[in-house]
Amino acid sequence: MSRRVQFDQYGPADVLRVADVPRPSAGDGQVLVQVLAAGINPGEIAIRTGAMEQMFPATFPSGQGSDFAGRVVEVGPGVTGFAPGDEVMGWSDRRSAQADHVVSDRQHLIAKPRALDWIRAGALWAIGVTSFSAVRAVAVQPGEVVAVSAAAGGVGGLAAQLARRAGARVLGIASAASAGRLRAIGVEPVAYGDGLAERLRSLAPGGIDAFIDTHGDGYVDLAVALGVSPDRIDTVIDFAAAQRHGAKADASPQASTPDVLATMAEHVAWGRLTVHIAAIYPLDQVRDAYTELASGHVYGKIVLSTEMAADDPPCAADEPVHRPAPPGKRPGKDRPCPG
């Protein structure tokens, strides 16, 4: 048997449960992976509540989750390049990553870099490919000024760092409490809220060249009002505003390839990009994990760990993820933040 997060009806986090189900098997062109870490994303909340039913209808009981990292258990017919025991990371299009085992298409997997810890590997697909897609869409050039909304979030934080790596000056829109974290990654913090347009104009009197929106809620309208050309605006969430203004809406679908994920994984593995982990929860505490995510005040990424016991406390953001378990001791209580 294998544990799997699932829900039987649309609703709040309370509809989630961890069910015991038969362990899946790999079919043609597929790989069965033992999941060690699985990221959670805001879009999964919208799917679970039914807010995106027209675009992503659920078939009950519905699984949940896309990002994961783990070890190969078996490979199906026609699969080459992977073997049992290989350390891998990738994504599932079947909403099935939050589980002890996941079946993934071969083309949705890459080898996990040895220097990358399990937690960040399991958190990377959605934020990694989405941020890559957004930065590519606005064609950042050296010396330009780029604004990023929700720059302290998972996608926004990586997009801001990618724009910096491209040689841009980055203005990161976030809460005042996140200012120090943004400065630490080379981003100039700009507090959101009343007066934001004036603050941006003051910081960039020569104008803003490109705008990446990872939050929605009027930021595309703001970018247009600031004089940013629509072809230099990309939103990963406000598709209606993009259509209204002729802006871009490149997100994960435009960059979900093994090559892009491998590029992002290497950047994170070797410290060229920073992925902050807000919290790590045991799989059995998935309701609590999504409740924290829904609060809207999460800096970085929340990850589910199958190594942690059901009653282990979630890790705080500043706890290490590389703490080794003592010889002969099980993960979980002895290693509450598995790496």
192: CATH: 3.40.50.720
In a domain, 335, yes or no: no
Q: Which domain holds residue 99?
A: 2-126+256-305
- CATH code of the domain containing 100: 3.90.180.10
Q: Are residues 118 and 19 in the same domain?
A: yes
Q: Is residue 276 part of a domain?
A: yes
Per DSSP, helices labelled H in 192-300 are 196-203, 219-225, 239-245, 258-269, 286-294
| Pairing assessment for the beta strands 169-174 and 145-148 based on DSSP bridges | parallel
Residue 322 phi/psi, 5° resolution? -110, 15
Are 37 and 305 contacting, i.e. CB atoms less than 8 angstroms apart? yes
> Is the same domain home to 26 and 136?
no
User: Do 7 and 147 share a domain, yes or no?
Assistant: no
Task: Give how many domains the chain has, as a whole number.
Answer: 2
With contact defined as beta carbons under 8 Å apart, do 311 and 290 qualify? no
Segment 301-339, tens digit of pLDDT = 999 999 988 888 887 544 444 333 334 444 444 344 665
On the question of pLDDT at 238 being above 50, the answer is: yes
Query: How many whole angstroms separate alpha carbon 272 and alpha carbon 265?
Result: 10
Say whether both 100 and 136 belong to one domain: no
196 phi/psi in degrees, rounded to 5: -60, -45
Q: 7: buried, middle or exposed (CB in 10 Å: 19+, 13-18, 0-12)?
A: buried
Q: Is residue 293 part of a domain?
A: yes
Residue 7 to residue 61: CA distance in whole angstroms? 6
Lowest mean pLDDT across 82-96, 232-246, 263-277, 297-311: 297-311
Same domain assignment for residues 262 and 294: yes
Note the pLDDT of residue 310. 87
Look at residue 318 and tell me if it is in a domain: no
Q: Are residues 164 and 237 in the same domain?
A: yes
Q: How far apart are CA 91 and CA 80, in angstroms?
A: 18
In a shared domain, residues 134 and 35:
no
Q: Which pLDDT tens digit goes with each residue over 48-83?
A: 999 988 888 999 999 999 999 999 999 999 999 999
Residues 150 and 297 grouped into a single domain: no
**Are 12 and 118 in the same domain?**
yes
Quick: pLDDT tens for 172-195.
999 999 999 999 999 999 999 999
Q: Which amino acid is at 94?
A: R
> Domain for residue 317, yes or no?
no
> In 175-255, which ranges are E strands?
188-191, 210-213, 233-235
Supply the pLDDT for residue 5. 98
Nearest to 69 by CA among 314, 255, 301: 301
Q: Does 232 fall in a domain?
A: yes
Q: Per residue in 77-100, pLDDT tens?
A: 999 999 999 999 999 999 999 999
**What confidence category does residue 141 fall into, taking pLDDT thresholds of 50, 70 and 90?**
very high
Question: Same structural domain for residues 116 and 155?
Answer: no
In a domain, 249, yes or no: yes
Closest C-alpha among 273, 256, 255 to residue 264: 273
Same domain, 157 and 227: yes
Question: Do 110 and 216 lie in a common domain?
Answer: no
Would you state the structure tokens that stand for residue 276, as one six-digit string? Answer: 């902050």
pLDDT band at 129 (very low <50, low <70, confident <90, very high): very high
How many C-beta neighbours within 10 Å does residue 225 have?
Answer: 10
The verdict on residue 8 lying in a domain is: yes
User: Average per-residue pLDDT in the chain?
Assistant: 92
